[in-house]
Amino acid sequence: MTKTKIDLGIPQSDLVSCVSCGLCLPHCPTYRVTQEESASPRGRIALMKAAADTGVVDEEFVGFMDACIQCRGCETACPAGVQFGSMMETTREALATQTAYQPWWRRLGYQALGWPRILTFGSKILAVLQRFKVVPKRLGLPKIPLTQKRLVASGNDVFLFTGCIMDAWMRETHQAVQRVIEATGNGVQFPDRGAACCGALHVHAGLAEDARRLAAKTMSAFPGKAPILVDSAGCGAQLKDYGHLLKTQEAKDFSARVLDVHEWLAEHLDELPPAPKGGVPVAVQDPCHLRHVQRSHKSVYEVLGRYTEAVTLDDEGLCCGAGGAYSAFHPDTAAEVRDRKVASIERSGAAIVASANPGCLLHLRSAGLDVRHPLEIIDSIMTKDV
Ligand code: SF4
Ligand code: SF4
């Protein structure tokens, strides 16, 4: 097996912070599926420590690191406060900069996310190919729109972050979110094209320099002091992490303005229209980046609970397997992880599922479930479509 020299760059204090108690194991989706110690948080930390001690990695090491969904369910379960997410991001950055971990074609794909014109053009081609039924169903892509309506600002009380894939494929969700925000009496503005992509997928892939470049561009697209609301849990977690990523006061100030849109709405519940009687049951899927990273998933229940019967799943927030680009690169594991989530949803008895993250939403939809953004459900209720 080929060995490659590496300087992992993880502080020794982090590497020895795991006390090997194993309490994180039931919360790790890849361990639950494989039952392999090296596919668990504890096993991965042991591998990182060995790589830091020896200064070499091999394909097996790369495989176990790449198979981590970066859901961070292990972090919220860990009694010792192990910062697993940061250790994994540092490991991936070392792999991406010092080994052949990220091939050129993947880097090219990530680059395209930061160029809205390329993304729009590519999406249109994909949309046409879908109409000719030549895009394989197993890719699990949503029906990509051929045309989209422009987003029109209605004031300057708050910004709504629009992002890359979500804006190219799911702009109707942004429009529903805008209508719900406007129902509180506040006006919505949108960033310019500088905020093309938050860089979350780049950080996951170890491409931290690309992520820093995108972060700097994104920050410049939100002048003033208005709150920056985000309707994608993964993007919100990334925007809130700019202070840590860029380590500047400007980035820290920017991150302090960022709120998941449900966090903001939970503070404006009294300004929303009254709820109709007898809400339908809706199973709430907690995106990992809302529950384990932003730790603000309860606001979804508060907001959704005003209009529906928001049903809590019985799996303690176990990951659904989407993981940003994970389901594209590890389709079999992602599908096995998703099976557990689908079983939990089925046990809930709800016919509609709410997910505040587009990646999770699409991944669960491709299993045949009726999954919608929580604010799309509320928008439908307000317009009496549900
Ligand atoms: S981040 Fe998720 S997949 Fe990775 S080790 Fe932790 S619990 Fe397991
Ligand atoms: S719960 Fe924390 S301390 Fe215990 S094995 Fe997992 S990472 Fe290590």
Closest CA to 209 of 102, 120, 116: 102
Note the pLDDT of residue 385: 59
| pLDDT 10s digits, 203-248 | 999 999 999 999 999 999 999 999 999 999 999 999 999 999 999 9
The β-bridge relationship of strands 56-58 and 3-5 is: antiparallel
Give the per-residue pLDDT at 141: 78
* Three-state SS at 323: coil
Pairing, β 281-285 against β 258-260: unpaired
Under DSSP, the state recorded for 282 is: E
For residue 26, the number of C-alpha atoms closer than 13 Å in the C-beta half-sphere is 6
Question: pLDDT tens digit string along 66-97?
Answer: 999 999 999 999 999 999 999 999 999 999 99
> Hey, CA dihedral for 375, 379, 382, 386, is it positive or negative?
negative
Instruction: Establish whether domains 3-98 and 274-382 are of one fold.
Output: no
Greatest extent of the chain over all pairs of C-alpha atoms, in Å: 64
Instruction: Tokens for 79, please give them.
Output: 């009694």
Q: In 104-235, at which residue ranges do the beta strands (DSSP E only) sit?
A: 158-160, 188-189, 228-230
**pLDDT tier at 142 (50, 70, 90 boundaries)?**
confident
- Beta strand pairing status for 370-372 and 352-355? parallel
State which of 42, 70, 291 you would mutate to test the pocket of ligand 1, scoring each by most atoms of that ligand within 8 A of its C-beta.
Answer: 70
Is residue 338 over pLDDT 70? yes
Residue-wise burial string across 281-300, b where 16 or more C-beta atoms lie within 10 A, e elsewhere: ebbbbbbbbbbbbbebbebb
Residue written as token pair 């108690």: 21
**What's the Rg (C-alpha) of the chain?**
21
All structural domains of the chain with their residue ranges: 3-98, 116-265, 274-382
Find out whether the beta carbon of 183 lies less than 6 Å from any atom of ligand 2.
no
Q: Per CATH, which fold does 3-98 belong to?
A: Fumarate Reductase Iron-sulfur Protein; Chain B, domain 2 (1.10.1060)
Phi first, then psi: what are they for 261, rounded to 5°?
Answer: -60, -30
pLDDT digits (tens, 9 = 90+) for 102-123: 999 999 999 999 998 899 899 9
Whole-angstrom CA distances from 334 to 34, 70, 311 are 12, 12, 24
Q: Which of 71, 76, 91, 330 to mutate to test the pocket of ligand 1 (most atoms within 8 A of CB)?
A: 71
- Report residue 242: phi and psi, to 5°: -60, -35
Using the predicted structure, report yes or no on whether residue 305 has a pLDDT greater than 70: yes
Rounded to whole angstroms, how far apart are CA atoms 237 and 232? 9
Residue 80 beta carbon below 6 angstroms from any ligand 2 atom: yes
Mutate to test the pocket of ligand 2, among 32, 42, 49, 86 (most ligand atoms within 8 A of CB): 42
pLDDT level of residue 151 (50, 70, 90 thresholds): very high
Which tens digits make up the pLDDT trace of 25-41?
999 999 999 999 999 99
Question: Which 8-state DSSP code applies to residue 291?
Answer: I
Q: Is the CB of 72 under 6 A from ligand 2?
A: no
**Residue closest by Cα to atom 8 of ligand 1:** 28
Q: What is the pTM of this model?
A: 0.94
In DSSP notation, 247-266 reads: -SHHHHHHHHTEEEHHHHHH
**What whole-number distance in Å separates Cα of residue 212 and Cα of residue 70?**
19
In this prediction, residue 280 has a pLDDT band, given cuts at 50, 70 and 90, of very high
Place of tokens 């980046």: 289
CATH code: domain 274-382 is: 3.40.50
Distance CA 103, CA 378 (A): 42
What is the residue with the minimal CA distance to atom 3 of ligand 2?
A: 18
- Per-residue pLDDT, averaged over 187-194, amounts to 93
Cα-to-centroid distance, 42 and ligand 2 (Å)? 6
Residue 196 in tokens: 């093309």
